Structure 1
């Protein structure tokens, strides 16, 4: 629950700070504007940019630079399934000049918060993925020297840094890999982004946004510029019309549904590895994911609102929807 809301960035007389002690509709209207802004930030930043488009960067560089027989290709390619396809559809249907966001949206460490299940489940999932990645990659590139001499690996990260992040060192993307640890951390991030992070920001969209006032895709009037001017009528005027609301609900419902042939995290219908060690590591990976899933299921039995979005059995291997 917010303790205060200011709807514009620059303090001014026409930019009041709203409080829970204000009139019912002043406070409710302020919260509605925040929820609408959050919808647009969530979809375009947390969801599109930080999972879909980031996953595409890794996939394109993988296909450009890494041979199919390379262990990095075998490890990562299942986590790129359908990503380029769904992003092509998104460019046409969601973020194009006549897409959804133009037509129906305004945009065109240990934490201190208890019971923050995105954090808690996410850290556990990250650690499981990291152990798997470390086991597989260090089986092939056993030390830092071998990492530095792995030309396909170096071309992959160099392509990502140069062409997708425009050689900007401030992005945190490395220009090359110099150690096993650096390689493992980055590849862990790739797989987590393509699987767990996308599930966390995608799967629950309809749960939160299916009731339009909780996540308006757009609002039809400017935010209030002074207190005491809102009422039920002005609040209702702010909401999008039924057509826009229905399109928003439909988009969130569609994006939240699993595809008919979805592949859960850790399942590999196409067997890319043939050596005994990586095959054993895959089985260990699947076992750890199963234990995490069971723990999440047991915890959720005691929650009024279960948090399921990082349960491995609902996390897909790739950004495919």
Structure 2
């Protein structure tokens, strides 16, 4: 709410959104309600001013439902652009020599990334760029990103960890890779997990050739740097 109050002090207005979904018996998700919230005019200690919208197809209610979904999509896009999608490789390029095994592992993945990132900084995420003008306004988007990254953890970005954190997957020893999806009709997770674990096995096999123990990792000055 403090950030929303500051954002809405500019020429751009937005809402905090919360979406409630129902997992149906057929394994699909259906939207039940969207809550849009604004800061309380008397201060954040009074909570938020909220309104709930439910699915509708006709008349004014249908238009309001579409508008509520749009605000959710904008917020989701903002999180994706400002948080999920951001990554940088200067540490890898600056600390690992070209003959280092991890550099060789990552180099094909990082190819052209610096060039693309430089373009993005000049078009999307710079002051008055695409993100600031279309998702979150003006100076607060950079500040919000910095705040979020204070709690950012690389390990938690693993697909299976992210799915468990969002309660759409649970540990299950009887399922492939010891993971069971709560939502079976979820192509992103079904296909993504197959790709994830295939890549993980390949990377693990590659790294274990050079690093037999944790101590070897600790004694590698380039990795530690």
CA contact (8 A) 2:37 2:50 kept: yes
Once the two structures are superposed, what CA deviation does each residue of 1:7-31 show, in whole Å capped at 9, x if it has no partner? 1156899643222369632243233
Report the TM-score, using the length of structure 1 for normalisation: 0.42
Aligned to 1:81: 111
- Alpha carbons of 1:107 and 1:48: their partners in 2 closer, same or farther (altered >3 Å)? closer
Aligned to 1:143: 213
CA distance in 2, matches of 1:107, 1:147: 41
CA distance in 1, matches of 2:135, 2:82: 16
State the secondary structure of the residue aligned to 2:31: coil
Aligned to 2:196: 126
Aligned to 1:31: 66
Please identify which structure carries the higher strand content. Answer: 2
CA distance in 2, matches of 1:83, 1:23: 46
CA distance in 2, matches of 1:118, 1:22: 27
Matches within 5 A, 1:9-88: 15-20=50-55, 24-42=59-77, 44-51=78-85, 53-54=86-87, 56=88, 59-88=89-118
Q: 1:3 aligns with which of 15, 32, 35?
A: 32
What is the deviation of 1:152?
A: 1.2
Aligned to 1:318: none
RMSD, aligned CA: 2.7
Report the TM-score, using the length of structure 2 for normalisation: 0.57
CA contact (8 A) 1:7 1:34 kept: no
State the secondary structure of the residue aligned to 1:8: strand
State the secondary structure of the residue aligned to 1:7: strand
Instruction: Verify: 1:92 aligned to 2:118, yes or no.
Output: no
CA distance in 1, matches of 2:197, 2:34: 37
CA distance in 1, matches of 2:48, 2:213: 62
Using CA pairs below 8 Å that are at least 6 residues apart, which structure has the higher relative contact order? 1
What is the deviation of 1:73?
A: 0.3
| Structure 1 stretches lacking a partner, 5+ long | 156-321
CA contact (8 A) 2:38 2:49 kept: no
CA contact (8 A) 2:54 2:65 kept: no
| Structure 2 stretches lacking a partner, 5+ long | 1-29, 41-46, 138-168, 170-179
CA distance in 2, matches of 1:19, 1:37: 13
CA contact (8 A) 2:75 2:135 kept: yes
CA distance in 2, matches of 1:22, 1:16: 18
How many pairs align?
149
State the secondary structure of the residue aligned to 1:6: strand
CA contact (8 A) 2:55 2:62 kept: yes
